[in-house]
Amino acid sequence: MKATRLRAAGLAVALLGALVAGTPASAAESDTATDSTATTCVTDPAVPKRQFRAMWIASVTNIDWPTKASWTAPDQIAKQKAEYLAWLDLAQKLNHNAVVVQVRPTADAFWPSEVEPWSEYLTGVRGQDPGWDPLAFLVEESHKRNLEFHAWMNPYRVSMPAPGGAGADISKLAPNHPVRQHPDWVFAYPPAGVAGSRLYYNPGVPEVREFVQTAMMDAVKRYDVDGVHFDDYFYPYPSGTYQYPDDPTFAQYNRGFTDKADWRRDNINLLIQEMNAKIKSVKPWVKFGVSPFGIWRNKSADPNGSDTTGSQSYDIISADTRKWVKEEWIDYIVPQLYWYIGQYPAADYARLVPWWAETVRGTNVQLYIGQADYKSGDPAYGSFWMNPQELSNHLTLNRSYPEVLGNVHFSAVQVRANRLGATDIYAAEHYSRPALVPTMSQLPAKPLLPPVVTRAERQDDGVRLSWRQPADGQGPFGEATAYAIYRFDGVGLADRCDFADASHLVATVRGTDGDVQSWVDTTATAGAHTYYVTALDRVWNEGPVSPPRFVH
């Protein structure tokens, strides 16, 4: 006992309480999560116990956060903090469990980076110190709400088109921008002087690949992020007939490739593979995910492709997304399936979901679907998107494919806009209860002990629960990062199947410093209730349920 440094008294109370109170079978039969036996239970598909739910919060051109209006606010920092907290309020209202926040939009940073300039989207001035550390605030406040924080970064984009951005003009970048010292690291595409021209880091230059990884890893090392997230920008999307100006790069760094298209794909493969390895070598629990364009290849071009005819990420942006899944270089993938369900042969949502489900099947890569909230209620995108049920129908279709483990909505302002009431509809039909983030078996974990609920009492604002966590992170046991709270009407013992979906899950809460944890159930009604609490580690593995606690 001394060798494991257990808190003997707390452990004894926990185990004795479990025996006396009749712990539900899921805890008595196993020291794993309460949903370990869910396969034998009948569950309600409308209230899954585990489902990744998030929205993208975009900073490039101030799409979502911070607003341009914040730049001229009397207290810019307070204004930007308040704006972000409002997004977290919305996430909680919708029972989301994660946020995906863009913190490196154009080879810049939302933190005091050691190698890159401050982002212009914080102050309106490239390279200007905003006077605070936004990333530290974003992570801390997200975790207070028990929301996973995924740091969304764009690897290669250096500038946005003029007049709003620097365009192809290096002299308009921040004074301390690395490109000023290494102009050979970038190319303009489309060419300078053409509308829409902007700068990109050249993916074919080995020093560039190393540099962008170093820049992004700076945030991973210094901040408590839960994930690193790339979007769909690798090589630039083609513009007209203009070609990438990378012939000299290919000649110098071809690594024996004779086909330039294969070489470009390998450049991106190396980025993905190496980034994952670097993340895991520093923080093995940090997830790495990519949100690619929704079509890998069409079946007409490759027998492994989807039944579609649209643009192919494999060919147009050199992103071999299927390979990343099969090689398990990423932990999750969020294809942007921004199309409707219906007769749309180029890219029918109902054809692409099963293709992606089949692609991840048998791998450790989780599948979430990118949803086009921005199209809902906008007549410019056609009549299908004028159907208030369209997005909810997407989530209903997803239920037919067990590989689909969640959704990410683009983007926050569109979620909040709630055009046609579409957000309200899918939230009511699919996000009516909280949900735990899906676990990943490839991430490190230790067994958790059940909490000991020490008090449950009614007060003016609801029912206050208090509990302790025995042997928290000591000896062979894992550390509780958060807790799941279950409530049942009446007094009685729950069956293991009562924990198999989220029907009785009322909240997940972040752990706080100190031995005693507490939470107030403000939604508790009059009458008797039975509560159970479970511990969650930082990657959402769930320990056994506590002994029950009753309140009248």
Region 101-113: what's the mean pLDDT? 98
Task: Give the pLDDT confidence of 327-352 residue by residue, as tens digits.
Answer: 999 999 999 999 999 989 999 999 99
Q: 531 near 507, Cβ under 8 Å?
A: no
Span 387-422, pLDDT tens digits = 999 999 999 999 999 999 999 999 999 999 999 999
Q: Tokens 């007939």 identify what position? A: 241
Are 438 and 540 in contact, with CB atoms under 8 Å apart? yes
pLDDT at position 35 is 52
Q: How far apart are CA 76 and CA 264, in angstroms?
A: 42
Confidence label for 308 from pLDDT (cuts 50, 70 and 90): very high
**DSSP string across 468-531:** E-TTTT-TTPPPP-EEEEEEEESSSPPPGGGGSSSTTEEEEEE--SSSEEEEEETT--SS-EEE
- Per-residue pLDDT for 1 more than 80? no
Res 85: pLDDT: 99
Work out the angle at residue 43's Cα, subtended by the Cα atoms of residues 549 and 15, and round it to the nearest 5 degrees: 30
- C-alpha separations of 303 from 145, 296, 298 in Å: 45, 12, 8
pTM > 0.75: yes
Give DSSP secondary structure letters for 99-154: EEEEEESSS-BSS--SSSPBPHHHHSSTT---SS-HHHHHHHHHHHTT-EEEEEE-
The token pair at 170 is 């290096």
User: Two tokens at 530?
Assistant: 């039975």
Place of tokens 């949900």: 435
- Find all residues with CB under 8 Å of 216, minimum gap 6, and list them: 104, 153, 155, 228, 275
- Measured CA to CA in angstroms, residue 170 lies from 22, 200, 210 at distances of 69, 11, 21
| Cα–Cα distance list, 395 to 148, 263, 339, 436, 501 (Å) | 21, 37, 13, 17, 17
Tokens of 245: 């100006």
CA distance 546 to 551: 15
Q: State which H helix or E strand residue 56 sits in.
A: strand 52-57
pLDDT tens string 174-204: 999 999 999 999 999 999 999 999 999 999 9
* Residue 90 to residue 84: CA distance in whole angstroms: 10
Radius of gyration of the chain from Cα atoms? 25
| Cβ atoms of 26 and 499 closer than 8 Å | yes
Contact (Cβ atoms closer than 8 angstroms) between residue 468 and residue 533: no
* pLDDT of the residue at 13: 41
pLDDT at 152: 98
List the structure tokens of 214: 């170093």
- In Å, what is the CA distance from 523 to each residue of 424, 434, 456, 462, 506? 20, 13, 14, 7, 9
**Could you tell me what percent of the chain has a pLDDT over 70?**
93
The label of the residue with tokens 């995906």 reads 100
Q: Which two tokens stand for residue 56?
A: 């993208």
As separate numbers, helices (DSSP H) first and strands (DSSP E) second, the chain gives 15, 17
Instruction: Give yes or no for residue 36 having a pLDDT over 60.
Output: no
Q: What is the pLDDT of residue 39?
A: 61
What string of DSSP letters covers 194-218?
A: STT-EEEE-TT-HHHHHHHHHHHHH
Indicate the pLDDT class of residue 34, thresholds 50, 70 and 90. low
Residue 146 has pLDDT above 80, yes or no: yes
One-letter amino acid at 377 equals: G
